Amino acid sequence: MSSTPALVIDRIGYPCDEDITAADDTAVTAAALRQFTLHRLLAYGVEAGDALRLLELAARGQSWRRSALALADQHLARVANPDLPRTTRSQTHLFARASALQRISQVMELDNSPHRREIYAAAAAHFARARADDRRYEHLVIDTVGGPVAAWVITPGSEGPHPVVLVHGGVDGWSMDWEGLALPLVEEDMTVVLLDGPGQGETRLIHRHYLTPHWLDAYEQVCDFLAERAAGMPVAAVGNSMAAGLVLLIAARYPVFTAVCSNGPVTSMAAQLARRTYARKLASFCGDAPTAEQVRAVFDSMELTEDRIGATCPFLLLQGDQDPMVPVEDGLRLLDRVPAADKRMALFEGGEHVLNRYPGDKHHLIRTWLRDRIDRAIGTPQ
């Protein structure tokens, strides 16, 4: 008598409601839905299906934080299940997806809580697991006068030395979140250094290196590292949001850059302190319990005043005409202040802050402009 094989169904769905409900997260979840579109989540490295499920769960009123973590746990459970088929590459994708979800679960947090440090450490560890077999990736810590600074270095597979590009994020997007921008530059034969500056990412949450009014001092050792890694090749920088302004100030203090690209520079970070909730988020960059005066001093030191913008290397400004944080007039005023002879603005119609809805065009423009200016610097025929 023949037996009928059992029907096997692997269910891949949404986390259970009881695991992701939290009444005290209602306001946080509503704010996350206002701030994070699908294309912004994709830009931060969240896989498309994960992003859609997270947005749908949040729209149902489920906790943003708990939903993201529950989705990450689903991937980690698949990694750990010995009964499921697996390949090395498939495991790396699951670790990367889990890391992105863990990072995005914390993006609305305002304080440096122990739980946040724990989740971010797990996200960093899972990202490291995801990239462990890719020889292009190197995680390192740069010792600076202000404290340790964490970075991911991605090197092309071709023989070096290679030009080096610093890629620097802002208030929300930190080093691992900008991998999507880094990889097109690596394809152009550039080494990319994804940096967590003082107050950001691993530098802050793991190494407790915070922003102070003397934050620029720490970049002396960072710039030394960039120049050493370049081994005589040009060094460039791409700054995004808050860091779009920081790279101009860094370039003015340390003239190691062949070219600088600023994507959505906020000309007055101090003015953002007028927004109460955002001010609390900015304060967390400065320590666990900084005073209002300390926070004000830090962000006053980032003002893009004319006397502070002294870089004369080629300069590219990326601007969206619908950027709620950076009006076009601010971009034009900044472009006028930059003393470089070779400077231009790329204005994106309908573009929001840092142009996440234009990934292909943004990456194309940055990679080709940087490659062109670097080739000019080294004398490569056009």
pLDDT tens, residue by residue, 100-155: 999 999 999 999 999 999 999 999 999 999 999 999 999 999 999 999 999 999 99
Q: Is the peptide bond before 339 cis (omega within 30 degrees of 0)?
A: no
180 has a pLDDT exceeding 80 = yes
Task: Report pLDDT digits (tens) over 2-24.
Answer: 566 777 777 778 887 776 777 67
Q: What's the order of all strands across the beta sheet hosting 235-240?
A: 137-144, 147-154, 191-196, 164-168, 235-240, 257-263, 315-320, 343-348
Q: What is the pLDDT of residue 7?
A: 74
CA atoms within 13 A on the CB side of 204: 27
Question: How many percent of the chain have pLDDT more than 90?
Answer: 88
* 38 φ/ψ angles, rounded to the nearest 5 degrees: -60, -45
Q: Is the pLDDT of residue 346 over 70?
A: yes
Residue ranges of the chain assigned to CATH 3.40.50.1820 = 135-378
The residue among 203 and 83 whose pLDDT is bigger is 203
Listing DSSP states for 94-139 in one string gives HHHHHHHHHHHHTTT--S--HHHHHHHHHHHHHHHHHHTT-TTEEE
25 CB burial (10 A radius; 0-12, 13-18, 19+): buried
Confidence band, pLDDT 50/70/90 cuts, at residue 355? very high
Q: Which residue has the tokens 């994960």?
A: 50
Contact 168, 246 (CB under 8 A): yes
Which residue in this structure is represented by tokens 């840092």?
354
Asked if 26 and 102 count as a contact pair (C-beta separation under 8 A), the reply is no
Rounded to a whole number of angstroms, the distance between the first and last alpha carbons of the chain is: 77
Strand pairing class (257-263; 164-168): unpaired
Residues 6+ apart with CB under 8 A from 304: 245, 248, 249, 265, 267, 268, 334, 337
Q: Averaged over 18-46, what is the pLDDT?
A: 88
Rounded average pLDDT over 64-83 = 94
Query: How far apart, in whole angstroms, are the C-alpha atoms of residue 157 and residue 133?
Result: 13
Q: What is the mean pLDDT of the chain?
A: 94
- Say whether pLDDT at 307 is over 70: yes
Give counts: helices (H), strands (E), the chain: 15, 8
Confidence bin at 381 (pLDDT 50/70/90): low
pLDDT at residue 344 is higher than 80: yes
Please report where in the chains the tokens 């990367």 appear, as a residue.
96
Pick the CATH number of 135-378 from 3.40.50.1820, 3.30.450.20, 3.40.605.10, 1.20.1250.20: 3.40.50.1820
Q: Which of 10, 18, 132, 127 is nearest to 78 (CA)?
A: 10
Query: Which of 177, 171, 79 lies closest to 124, judged by CA?
Result: 177
Which pLDDT value is given to residue 3? 66
Tokens of 219: 């970049």
Q: Which residues contact 360 (CB under 8 A, 6 or more apart)?
A: none
pLDDT of residue 1: 54
Q: How far is CA 256 from CA 49, 93, 227, 311, in A?
A: 41, 36, 7, 10
Q: Which amino acid is at 382?
A: Q
Rounded to whole angstroms, the Cα distance separating 40 from 50 reads 13
Note whether 223 and 256 are within 8 A (CB).
Answer: yes
pLDDT at 10: 74
Residue in 362, 355, 317 with CA at minimum distance from that of residue 336: 317
d(CA 92, CA 126): 9
pLDDT at 360 over 80: yes
Say what the pLDDT of residue 83 is: 87
Question: Residues 183-233: pLDDT tens digits?
Answer: 999 999 999 999 999 999 999 999 999 999 999 999 999 999 999 999 999
CA distances from 177 to 66, 85, 167, 193, 232 (A): 20, 29, 11, 13, 29
Tell me the average pLDDT across 59-84: 94
